[in-house]
Chains A and B, each alone.
Chain A
């Protein structure tokens, strides 16, 4: 059994680093879409399959998307984007309104890519662990009941985005698979020593 639980020091260090790098990400985002973005302080948690199911428990007022990443750390980024405020967001991002289905999907995927990219590069730059995002896809609710995950624990690094001038929020969760947690811990230890 690998020791995949973070020590308190490791956790604090990771949170601090994420906080710094997310600040930079927010600046770039503001430059791109010309709006003030509010970021939550990143939270770091271990999650069981049940916790993840809870996160992905589909609600009608949210879009769900996922994007995998490969490299020295591997995993998936989940983004939960509020339906409310999407229209205003579309306007900011220079989409023609009213949005048709394909355009809405494109907007969600674009937002997912931008937000996941910001969060993931925040993580990988600070720790000097390279990883690349793949194409984002929409996550539709599973019709086969409870999914059967073949892992026991993932590390969730979660950041919430919201916008000052109108009601919109997005929740971005980086899920690191077990082997990557070990790499992450090694990098954290190197930084801490």
Chain B
């Protein structure tokens, strides 16, 4: 295109200064403002001359004067900003969404959508009043975004970058549209079936021909909307499949639907032969339901992650020239200063600039104790500010924050994995192709015998065998199972995990935090009870894990009063409690000042479990008690592991802990000696899992809780993260257990086995039904009545079969949060 034609097309695009319609060429003049008609000219004059032009944004709006902040918005031109928030359009333009402050009424729509007039280079500006969201399309070469932002600012709307919420919103809209389609398809299907019922009943008895015709036309009339609205998705899908030259399940479905509809319509008009509308309407409904369930199933994990998302606050208080104001979290930019009060969550990742507080980061790290933060330290979005107010400078916000990245990983892994559903889809596709072939063959052969019935029989075959039950079989069973599992505290991200868990393989378990409780506890105690209050008294002010262990173990004991206490680094505690000199700590430290040792205790020293760290307690110069502190094995571990082994699983334990400790725990839990491995690094765990996968030929399942297990979890066929696990673990695991203990593993494998069984039964049933239907159709004995009975029966069998099979227990686990 030459420059001359360019400017010519631009000239036709002069817009009326008042109503923004194109100005006719004949009315163009030299004036500063152009109008499309004298009415607009007058209206403009009136509004302008009398200070009523508020809607052009030059004067007061809503009694309050417009407050232009006068900011430069330079950051909007930053490449990093463009990366995050600006989309390049195929025609060379750029597009972004801006959240506008102060949008409140219809006039704002007017103002904002005048921006293309005010700022040359802006091609489109649209405002969604409800969400205060403006979509801007502009030419970067002509005008920088900062200039557009400034002009929005002068109009009184402070722009903020916006992203993410739009996506969630879109998903919601999609879901709703899908639901509406299903609802309409269902309503239509039911009504067409009722009409069909009347027709079949009339066929058995004798119905007046005029009524028959009436019912046929009614069926026709109500089926049409089902094709136009809900059924359209299949035709658009088929069209897309044709254009991209890839075989998609929508294609045969669309052919069957179109063929059936055309034939049905012809038969309605000529008043002879079957009309098929009942089958077609039901087919649309069943296929849509199957699709919806499938989408839902794939999103289960994403939804669980969304809930985490909600933990990060949706608005943040920023400090701008010492004035605090609220902005949506999506609008935060690096460099802004946040004010976060005690009890609030951080809205973005950043550096503490002022204040000292403690932060609970359980969400990200699994660490349940608050850690203290002070100036210069980093805090993360979604974590909780516990103690006192902080000023935080934003480093990463929105999509680039740590939590957002984590959620994206979860989302992607959910998208990536669902081969079992794909398999079913492929099967259904193949099946439909076979049916199409059979229908064609039937038509050709039959047309040699009797031309009149050939097309009807072929169509009857097409419709009766349409894979609606088959399409429902797998997603339905998986959805029901995944939903129930979630209520039992097992979040399953993909259908394939269920499939893989159904056959016993090799279960690799991390020790610390998975098989054991993962925290220091008082595991052994040898000594008299009267010592306990003294011990608790001395440990009272201590934050050492051991002190915590004592307190948890002896929650009923009242601590004695302590007069002095001293902490010896690397040794233990000493002090005066209740008039006694008490020492608690490592054997070496305690024995430094000890005179006597009880005979029986000397014996204990040798028999004490070697996996435990020994602690001695001396009172007034004599060792009177010994304790062993260590990581306790979970109560249900032994029972659960035995059950799994009984079902054919091989169990392996890996740990970074010393060989001694691992061997001892392994013996206690009846692991075979070579299957309890100690001193394994994270890389070692990964290598071990990789090697098992390569050599064993069985399903390798990795169960773990920490960052050190994350790589192995990702590498395994199925990765399972256990309760309280860290961020990386949650991100890479296929299944996340939200309740403590290994009992869930037993339930999980058992449920998976039953689910696979239900899927197989569903598929067998639907194929069986279809084969019978196909056989009847080919031999021409398929009356509409039989077709009408067979079609829904197969679907209903599959639905009921999925719902009532006991895959996972249906009750909710309430103790999931501990």
A binds B: no
Q: Which residues of B contact A (CB under 8 A)?
A: none
Task: Tell me the A residues contacting B by CB distance below 8 Å.
Answer: none
